[in-house]
Amino acid sequence: MTSNKGIIIVVSGFSGAGKGTIMKELTGRYDRYALSVSATTRDPRPGEVNGREYFFVSNEEFEKLIAEDGLIEHAGYVDHYYGTPRKFVEDKLKEGKDVILEIEIQGALQIKKQYGDAVLLFVMPPSAKELKKRLTGRGTESSQVIDERLKRAREEAVGIENYDYIVINDDLDECVIRVHEIIDAAHNAPSRNLDFINTIRKELNEL
Amino acid sequence: MTSNKGIIIVVSGFSGAGKGTIMKELTGRYDRYALSVSATTRDPRPGEVNGREYFFVSNEEFEKLIAEDGLIEHAGYVDHYYGTPRKFVEDKLKEGKDVILEIEIQGALQIKKQYGDAVLLFVMPPSAKELKKRLTGRGTESSQVIDERLKRAREEAVGIENYDYIVINDDLDECVIRVHEIIDAAHNAPSRNLDFINTIRKELNEL
């Protein structure tokens, strides 16, 4: 019914809040979403595949992308660069897809500046204790890395009010439905339905 | 999960778009909503009951309500006053209910000024022709009244961009679900979840 134009959905949240799992579920369940793949200069973790989790690139390649205006946002995080390639996002929006970007707050704010009607979501754990438990439970990180992530979470928590919505990831299924509903609602903004509104206006004047 | 504080939901839309039916369904299905009953100086239509559709009051009584600051908004429409009694709305918000106000655009803008986080919805028919058909089909209005309502619709259509969301009432059931989802999504704004956000911040600092 309402707008079929694609929306940029930015998803941020503390490491360990479950962003990745939510996004995987969401894009698996609904055809409407396209998940943007970031470029990064960090090394792959075990199991990560180039072009699936990230495009793994060298510092030189990354800086070339910046120079060519090939990224719609980029940021540094724990000694590495992360950025969102422009072409994929703009192609998918044109196709009418909602494009999901899983990025940090600096990037989120860059996106909001360029794409004013992007929807910014912040995924939160039900409690800080639960966050620590999830980070520890992964078993892939040293306690030093976990401490760094918790430190980073404290910093990110300061910026939550810059987001349009928070989503609490307690029950995964409920959370995925909630994210989908929020995006659905966003499609109903008047600014995303100007063609329909103007058609009705025209029709009313012709009655 | 997220905020249990009540939100003011303003619902406007062309006469004949189906606002009343949507609101009746919504409040019938979900306990969470309280439907505000407006005061008006117009005469009851056949079947309307004082205190259910409206509080039917005299001009004098209405002006007394204004003087006592007993209305959170009021406006004139087709030679009559309409207004929203303050006490009911504020009592229900305190109880954690989402309070639905079915009012015209002048009132909607007054509400947005006083309650910045109110959610403004505009209900639209799928087309102007369908609107005229519904107005004619009611069979309760003279063609002069129908023409007045269409004229009014043209005027109201100018202000749609002041609303947060539009909802197209094509299929009633879908429309009710959509309205409920939009309100659900609104509860996830950070501004409505500051207690939760601040608790997590405090917990993160104590870890």
| pLDDT over 90 percentage in chain B | 81
From residue A87, give the alpha-carbon distance in Å to each of A36, A56, A58, A65, A113. 10, 17, 19, 11, 18
Contacts of A188 in chain B (CB under 8 A): 165-167, 178, 182
Where are the domains positioned within chain A? 8-202
Contact A166 B203 (CB under 8 A): no
In 3D, which of B26, B116, B180 has the Cα closest to residue A184? B180
**Per-residue pLDDT in tens (0 to 9) along chain B, 207 residues:** 455 689 999 999 998 899 989 999 999 999 999 999 999 999 999 999 999 989 999 999 999 999 999 999 998 877 899 999 999 999 999 999 999 999 988 899 999 999 998 999 999 999 999 999 988 887 777 888 889 889 999 999 999 999 999 999 999 999 999 999 999 999 999 999 999 999 999 999 998
- Two tokens, residue A182: 């929020």
Query: For position B51, what pLDDT does the model report?
Result: 92
Interface test with B, best of A4, A117, A155, A166 (most B CBs within 10 A): A166
ipTM surpassing 0.95: no
Q: Secondary structure of B139-166 in the HEC alphabet?
A: CCCCHHHHHHHHHHHHHHHCCHHHCCEE
Which residue from B153, B166, B170 is facing A188, i.e. has the nearest CB? B166
Q: Could you report the per-residue pLDDT of B105-147, keeping only the tens digit for each?
A: 889 999 999 999 899 999 999 999 999 998 888 777 788 888 9
B54, containing H or E segment: strand B54-56
* CB < 8 Å to B157, chain A: 197, 200-201, 204
Beta-strand runs (E) in A47-133: 54-56, 71-77, 80-85, 98-102, 119-124
User: What does the buried/exposed string (b/e) look like for B80-104 if buried means 16 or more CB atoms within 10 Å of the residue's CB?
Assistant: ebbbbbbebbeebbeeebbbbbbbb
What CATH fold (topology level) applies to the domain B8-36+98-206?
Rossmann fold (3.40.50)
CATH superfamily, with its number, for domain A8-202: P-loop containing nucleotide triphosphate hydrolases (3.40.50.300)
CA distance A67 to chain B (A): 36
Answer yes or no: do B190 and A163 touch at CB < 8 A: yes
Q: Which amino acid is at A116?
A: G
Mean local confidence (pLDDT), A185-206:
94
Q: How far is A170 from chain B (nearest CA, A)?
A: 9
CA distance B153 to chain A (A): 8
Q: Give A133-155 pLDDT, tens digit per residue.
A: 988 887 777 888 889 889 999 99
A201, B154: Cβ pair inside 8 Å? yes
- Chain B residue numbers with beta carbons less than 8 Å from the beta carbon of A182 are 185, 188
